[in-house]
Amino acid sequence: QVQLVQSGAEVKKPGASVKISCKASGYTFSSYYMHWVRQAPGQGLEWMGRINPSGGSTRYAQKFQGRVTMTRDTSTSTVYMELGSLRFEDTAVYYCARDHRFDYWGQGTLVTVSS
Amino acid sequence: DIVMTQTPLSSPVTLGQPASISCRSSQSLVHSDGNTYLTWLHQRPGQPPRLLIYKISNRFSGVPDRFSGSGAGTDFTLKISRVEAEDVGIYYCMQTTQFPPTFGQGTRVEIK
């Protein structure tokens, strides 16, 4: 069965970077794009960007351009999302989600930005 | 960016009764390939969202048939024929027709 397992919660200081992983299993990793979506406490869903695991190409939401980097490791079927220059308002749960249908989601990774 | 607007934002419902959520997009969601990439997601408290319906009306694997989607162009509806306790949570519509993907604000469904 398809599973997306994300790395654990992180606490970071303002200005730092965070790198979250999403390990895929149960399907052909390179066949489906992977998206990253975040959800601030009590708020809705916000799309951040996506990566094509096949060639590594990426597209990011304009809001995060210059601050976000998405990469993948095909040998471990893992995608990564790194967000830099963290601000208090980046405190959120970050999700990976598969395919243009967003058909499978990771369990979420809480990132807390606190001084 | 396409703006997705959901109504109502909150929907108290009685168990066994129907519920309906509307979603309107600021532009047509018909893609150049002829498909309309309108998706409905459901998020229970403390859980990640899960896919309910894609391309307006296609139920995802394992989704009960009490859920149905309809609409075209810019106006879409999610209906629950008979609400069950496990249906509580927040429902989001989203579009992936045009870059970037965008979400509605969410509609909270709760039991009266």
Range B91-105 average pLDDT: 97
* pLDDT single digits (tens) A27-77: 999 999 999 999 999 999 999 999 999 999 999 999 999 999 999 999 999
| Average pLDDT score over chain B | 97
Is A53 in CB contact (< 8 Å) with chain B?
A: no
pLDDT for residue B96: 97
pLDDT for residue A9: 98
pLDDT for residue B28: 98
pLDDT for residue B91: 98
* pLDDT single digits (tens) B61-70: 999 999 999 9
B106 neighbourhood in chain A, CB within 8 Å: 44-45
Across the interface, of A44, A46, A105, the residue whose CB is closest to B48 is: A105
Residue of B2, B103, B107 to mutate when probing chain A, most A C-beta within 10 A: B103
Nearest CA to B21 among B76, B87, B83, B84? B76
Across the interface, of A44, A102, A106, the residue whose CB is closest to B51 is: A102
Residue A9, CA distances (Å) to A19, A82, A83, A113, B85 in order? 11, 14, 14, 11, 30
Q: Which residue of B has its CA nearest to A36?
A: B101
Spell out the residues 6+ positions from residue A63 whose beta carbon is closer than 8 angstroms to its own: none
pLDDT for residue B17: 96
For A32-74, the three-class secondary structure string (H helix, E strand, C coil) is CCEEEEEECCCCCCEEEEEECCCCCCEEECHHHCCCEEEEEEC
Range A98-105 average pLDDT: 95
Q: How far is the C-alpha of A63 from the C-alpha of A87, rounded, in Å?
A: 13
* pLDDT single digits (tens) B53-90: 999 999 999 999 999 999 999 999 999 999 999 999 99
The reply to whether residue A103 touches residue B96, judged by beta carbons under 8 angstroms, is no
The reply to whether residue B49 touches residue A106, judged by beta carbons under 8 angstroms, is no
Is B44 in CB contact (< 8 Å) with chain A?
A: no
Structure confidence at residue B93 as a pLDDT band (50, 70, 90): very high
